[in-house]
Every structure is written in structure tokens, then in C-alpha cells.
Amino acid sequence: MEKRKTIGDDNLLCAMNTSEFEEYVEPQKLRGISDGDGISVFGARDIWIDHCTLAKCQDGLIDIVYGSTAITISNNYMLQHNEVMLMGHNDDFVADKNMQVTIAFNYFGEGLVQRIPRCRHGYFHIVNNVYTGWEMYAIGGSANPTINSQGNVFIASDDESTKEVTKREIPNGSAEWKKWNWRSDGDLLLNGAQFTPSGNGTSGSYAKASSMVARPASLLTNIMPSAGVLNCNISQIC
């Protein structure tokens, strides 16, 4: 199937396999001024966000939206922020069903509240991260995202009201979330942390949310020193 779009004086030909793409996403022009996110990925693919230290942004620390896919967020140190990471434009934007994001080897430190991440549609491999407390929830979502949590360390705070790792955004009284494929596989749940799984539980359901082999969660004690901005000097190994 081919679709031709004209934007300004440019004639674009977009060939798409209809088995992979449900909706055409028109290429985006430059957006101009930032909307307050630390890092914003908008209608892009094949992006690697690695070894950043992020805190206290005006909006989110990282937003990945508008049909973006093939994104890796790794080895970052995030702290002191409310709405940490948003994945997906909105619940009605079905092009985000193709989104695939890997979140690996990050250290989620002190002062984080929620959206670590918050996912819409798509497939998310959350693997070998360390969570050191959250003030509301850690992993949230709506619009039936697939979430594969493997080999993470979740250390809940001492607040008894924030032990739950997950949160589903659904209409009141709806049991729709029970069909969503969310699993915890090999995670360490410490200090009373709880992960509520859902879905049919078959391994095939997580194929698009499986980007790498998870390390045992017990080996993650050295993530913090290596996460975040590297201490590098010219002509020297970092």
C-alpha cells in the first residue's frame, strides 16, 4: 500500500506494510520552543538516550510521543521530579500501538513521584533498573500497553500507602485492565513492594516487549555508580 503526501513544495512517497501500520502518521515539521520536557522524542525512531542525569524539569523528564518507536533509555540517573516519563501521545492516538521502548540499567533515585514510566498503547521492556522508592506509583498505563518488567529491583518507601508498583488508568468500575499483558519476571520486590500482574501470561504475548536477556536482579548493586552523566576527560577512558 502506498500513500503520497504533499507538504509545502515537497512530494513525499510513503510505502507501508499494512500488517505493521494501522494508521499513516504525517511527517512532522520542527516544533520550535520546548514545552518544558527535559528530553522530547516526537514522531521519531531509532533513538538512544544514554548516561543522562535528569531532575527538576518544568514538565516531564522524558516524553516519547506521536508514533515514535525503537527507543532505548539506558544508564540514566533520574531524581527529584513528579511526572518522570510519558510514553504515548494520548489514549486515542492509535499510531502509538507500534511503539516499542526499552528502559534498561537506569537508577531511579530519590524524590520521584510517578510515571516511571506511564505508558499508552505499545510495547515496553522495563529491564534491570533500580527503583529506590516512589511517592505514588512506579509503572502506570492506559489504553492496553504491554509491559514486560524483568530483573528490576523495586524498593518501596516506608509509607504503607505506596507499596504498589503499578497503576492502571481506567474508568471507575472497569475490569478491562485484567486483560492487559503486564508481568513481573525475576524482579526483586523489597520493603513490601507489590507488583499486580494481568493478562494471559503466555510468553508469546511479550515478544514485542522483549529486547534483551535480563540479568538476575541480584546483580544490580553496581548500577548507581555507572548511571547518569559520565565523568570523562579528553584522551582518557571514561
Predicted confidence (pLDDT) per residue in 161-186, tens digit: 999 999 999 988 789 999 999 999 99
Asked if residue 64 lies in contact with residue 87, where contact means CB atoms within 8 angstroms, the answer is yes
Asked if residue 65 lies in contact with residue 86, where contact means CB atoms within 8 angstroms, the answer is yes
C-alpha span between 172 and 191 (Å, rounded): 29
In a domain, 14, yes or no: no
In a domain, 94, yes or no: yes
pLDDT tens by residue, 53-63: 999 999 999 99
pLDDT tens by residue, 88-144: 999 999 999 999 999 999 999 999 999 999 999 999 999 999 999 999 999 999 999
pLDDT at 1 over 70: no
pLDDT at 146 over 50: yes
In a domain, 3, yes or no: no
C-alpha span between 220 and 222 (Å, rounded): 5
In a domain, 88, yes or no: yes
Residues 6+ positions from 91 with CB-CB distance below 8 Å: 120, 142, 143
- Burial of 48 per CB tally in 10 Å (0-12, 13-18, 19+): exposed
Beta-strand (E) ranges in 62-159?
A: 62-65, 69-74, 77-79, 81-83, 85-87, 100-104, 107-108, 112-114, 118-120, 123-127, 130-131, 139-142, 146-150, 153-155
Query: Tell me, what DSSP letter sits at residue 27?
Result: P
In a domain, 64, yes or no: yes
160 or 26, higher pLDDT: 160
pLDDT at 24: 47
In a domain, 163, yes or no: yes
| Residue 123 structural domain | 35-226
In a domain, 68, yes or no: yes
Told to judge if 215 belongs to the known catalytic residues of this protein, a careful annotator would answer no
Which among 115, 113, 65, 52 is positioned nearest to 92, based on CA atoms?
65
Structural domains of the chain, count: 1
Total-model pTM: 0.85
223 or 131, higher pLDDT: 131
C-alpha span between 206 and 183 (Å, rounded): 9
Annotated active-site residue in 4, 115, 120, 183: 115
CATH (domain of 194): 2.160.20.10
High-pLDDT (> 70) share of the chain, %? 86
In a domain, 233, yes or no: no
